[in-house]
Amino acid sequence: MSTAIRILCWLNCCAAAALWLLPTANAQAPAGSPSVSFVNDVMPMLTRHGCNAGVCHAKAGNGQNGFQLSLLGFEPAEDYEHLVKEARGRRLFPAVPENSLLLRKATAAVPHGGGRRIAEDSEAARILTEWIRQGARWDGDSAPALLRLTVTPAKGTVPRGQSQQLQVAAEYADGTVRDITQRALYESNDRAMAEVSSSGLVSVTDLPGKVSIMVRYQGLVSVFNASVPLGANVDAVPPAQNFIDELVFSNLRELGVPPSPLADDSVFLRRITLDVAGRLPTAAETTEFLSSAAPDRRTAVIERLLASPDHADFFAGKWTALLKNRRDDASDITSNFAFHAWVRDSLLANKPYDQFVREILAATGTVISNPPVAWYKRVKEPKQQQEDVAQLFLGVRMQCAQCHHHPFERWSQNDYYGLTAFFSQVGRKPTATRGEDMIFHKRGAAAAVNIRSGIAVPPAALGTAIPTIAADQDPRLLLADWMAAPDNPFFARALVNRYWKHFFRRGLIEPEDDIRDSNPPTNPELLAALEKHFIESRFDLRELVRVIVSSSAWQLSSTPLADNLVDQQNYSRYYPRRLQAEVMLDAIDDLAGTRTDFPNLPPGTRAIALPDNSYNTSSPFLRVFGRPENESVCECERGQSSSLSQSLHLMNAGDIRGKLAFGSGRAEQLAKSDLAVEQKIEELYLVAFSRKPTPAELQTAVEYVISPQTDAAGAPIEPARAVREAFQDLVWALMNTREFMFNH
């Protein structure tokens, strides 16, 4: 068997029946020797061996050491130019192909910054050599196009600690099917759960759950979805309240991961008030709820909180951060207040989500007459508008495709500029207010120029053709129509995933705004059902929240069972999360019986109702605890991690000390009050944790308060002061517990 034939024949005995292996068609091939195709043989080798990785020869600028390849081989024609013609053709040596610089560099026969990429006797070396021997021909116009990749199996169950070999077939336009298992690139979406070898052998670890392997070849992507069961007994499952429970619990049954039991009433009330309204329940709310025996008491709380202004405040904060309501200049205040109020009012009125987005997207006029125009004040460039809209409302990250084909996605630069074109006719002219433009539709044909091709691309919505748009028609309206269509594959999915993450801490797709074929959801049926429910409710945000928080899945205890401790992605229990900066500041004020005042806002304004980021400057607390600066369309801008500064702040900062010792604060009032010590401590527990103290906690706290105190010199200190300080210490201790700082 000749080298060339060996190159093209990876006969895989097991799969042979399904795969026809034919040499790539090329009319000019010398008789008897199957021709090596540049686009279908050579290019995949360059990609597989990392030659065209971003750090190597696809480095922006000139490529490493002056040899430029296109990123991941998306531009074969350019690569051919650089390989064959550039540098006076020094990279190839047709007379003695093995001595070509290309091969000598790749095999490190001469010094190569990237080291030894391929072995001299490897398949890759043979392909490159044979291609040069055959005349290093360009066949980009004649070679059959790759139509699809098929991974076998496409999904499956892999027991923990075991492995699964994948087979990958590539189907070409001329009907050829090739086994490219040894040529493709593999990547695990969670390397803690599964590793994959360069030849497609998937090895799963001990962690149960869902994991995906992305397979990439010549610009196409396919995925193997593995389910790794724990295999524990899943008998005790809480009652299903709605479709969410059916799908969450059936997934848990499939994985053999048991759910924790339902949370008790205290935990439920604290959790829902924090997650829906962004605040702690008051002591009165807690007392009332805990004393109620009504079977529908949880439903009643859900309805009350959904309709509350707190809910609108809390979610307005979330949305205005993502919509970049940022104070860069003192004069921004009017616009920022107007936009925040508009978002809040929209949420309070439960404006349908598609209408909410349409009003932002297609906003015209001035900020005062039409506040959503403020978004165009902040996001000025069409490309930026497009990127923000794609990521925020469609869950699609288009940034990569501005300069090159998206490496993990089907988006090309034309898709990027096609979507950008919807914003190309946004006109603006200055108004009497400094820094504020009037936004209007500029008559003309919408288009955006692809920077690589130089061609003006008309509006196109991520693969969906849009009918020709008349010059006097605002293209943004058509974009909004396309987004809100029931069959739009992105719009509803992005929103339900985003909201799901708010309540469950982990998106069904993670990160929540990176939806792509190569990043599949952990529970696709559930995501589809949520999407359907949301569309059928006519984009009713409140109904979406209602159906989520009404589910037993959301009401599960956060306390893990032995068999679901390792689960981090299947919602077998509630995953706790630290309170976000604003919520924590409000909670501390509630507990300490104090308030934080903010400049230019009425006294009593709570931190969750702050309209923009400017208050982070005046409040070190908000800054240290990671309140975002509203600079990014990504929720990840919000810092949720802990830090030494945070701990020091809670422990020792002036503003916390001031709150503890505040003259009419809770510690002071409790110290002065005539109530029994036990009742005072109960009040603290109701406020901080929405529950009464356990007998042991009560005993500890009471003893702390009543124990006699001495100063450093050993002399007894005045009882009134001792009690006051004891309550300060108690408030401080409760505030620093995990139970307080986390929604659990």
In the region spanning residues 591 to 620, those forming contacts with other proteins, defined by CB under 8 A, are 620
State the nearest-atom distance from the C-beta of 560 to other proteins, in Å.
6
Q: If binding is defined by CB under 8 A, does position 707 make contact with other proteins?
A: yes
Nearer to other proteins, 482 or 685 (CB): 685
Nearer to other proteins, 16 or 651 (CB): 651
- Residue appearing with tokens 């209602």: 546
Q: Could you count the other beta carbons within 10 Å of the beta carbon of residue 555?
A: 21
The two tokens of residue 31 are 């008789």
Q: If binding is defined by CB under 8 A, does position 173 make contact with other proteins?
A: no
Residue 61 contacts residue 53 (beta carbons within 8 Å): no
x/- contact string, 552-591, with other proteins (CB under 8 A)? ------xxx----xxxx----x-xxxx-------------
State the nearest-atom distance from the C-beta of 743 to other proteins, in Å.
11
201-204: strand order across its sheet = 163-165, 201-204, 194-196
Exactly one of 626, 666, 683, 687 binds other proteins (CB under 8 A); that residue is 626
Backbone angles phi, psi at 639, to 5 degrees: -80, 120
Q: If binding is defined by CB under 8 A, does position 81 make contact with other proteins?
A: no
Q: Which residues contact 232 (CB under 8 A, 6 or more apart)?
A: 256, 257, 258, 563
Pairing type for strands 577-578 and 742-743 reads antiparallel
The two tokens of residue 521 are 């959801």
Residue 734 contacts residue 740 (beta carbons within 8 Å): yes
Of 304-312, 448-456, 493-501, 697-705, the segment contacting other proteins by CB under 8 A is 697-705
Could you give the dihedral angle defined by the CA atoms of residues 490, 494, 496 and 497, in that order, rounded to the nearest 10 degrees?
Answer: 130
Q: If binding is defined by CB under 8 A, does position 99 make contact with other proteins?
A: no
Q: If binding is defined by CB under 8 A, does position 111 make contact with other proteins?
A: no
Within 415-474, which residues bind other proteins (CB under 8 A)?
Answer: none
CA-based nearest residue to 135, from 4, 25, 5, 36:
36
Orientation angle between helical segments 719-735 and 677-689, nearest 10 degrees: 20
Within 31-60, which residues bind other proteins (CB under 8 A)?
Answer: 55
Nearer to other proteins, 131 or 503 (CB): 503
Nearer to other proteins, 126 or 404 (CB): 404
Within 504-543, which residues bind other proteins (CB under 8 A)?
Answer: 511, 514
Beta strands in 410-485, from DSSP E residues, in sequence order: 426-430, 437-441, 448-449, 456-457, 460-461, 464-465
Exactly one of 243, 637, 678, 692 binds other proteins (CB under 8 A); that residue is 637
Q: If binding is defined by CB under 8 A, does position 624 make contact with other proteins?
A: yes
Within 284-313, which residues bind other proteins (CB under 8 A)?
Answer: none
Q: If binding is defined by CB under 8 A, does position 397 make contact with other proteins?
A: yes
Q: If binding is defined by CB under 8 A, does position 392 make contact with other proteins?
A: no
Of 101-109, 127-135, 539-547, 623-631, the segment contacting other proteins by CB under 8 A is 623-631
Nearer to other proteins, 57 or 623 (CB): 623
Orientation angle between helical segments 265-272 and 283-291, nearest 10 degrees: 140
**Interface size with other proteins, residues (CB under 8 A):** 76
Residue 88, burial from CB neighbour count under 10 angstroms (0-12, 13-18, 19+): exposed
Sign of CA dihedral 562, 566, 571, 574: positive
Q: If binding is defined by CB under 8 A, does position 722 make contact with other proteins?
A: yes
Nearer to other proteins, 117 or 397 (CB): 397
Exactly one of 33, 473, 639, 678 binds other proteins (CB under 8 A); that residue is 639
CA-based nearest residue to 114, from 73, 42, 59:
59
Within 643-682, which residues bind other proteins (CB under 8 A)?
Answer: 643-654, 657, 661
Of 211-219, 227-235, 448-456, 636-644, the segment contacting other proteins by CB under 8 A is 636-644
Residue 495 contacts residue 512 (beta carbons within 8 Å): no
Sign of CA dihedral 618, 621, 623, 624: positive
State the nearest-atom distance from the C-beta of 583 to other proteins, in Å.
16
Within 348-387, which residues bind other proteins (CB under 8 A)?
Answer: 384
Q: If binding is defined by CB under 8 A, does position 744 make contact with other proteins?
A: yes
Within 203-242, which residues bind other proteins (CB under 8 A)?
Answer: none
Query: What SS3 class is residue 179?
Result: strand
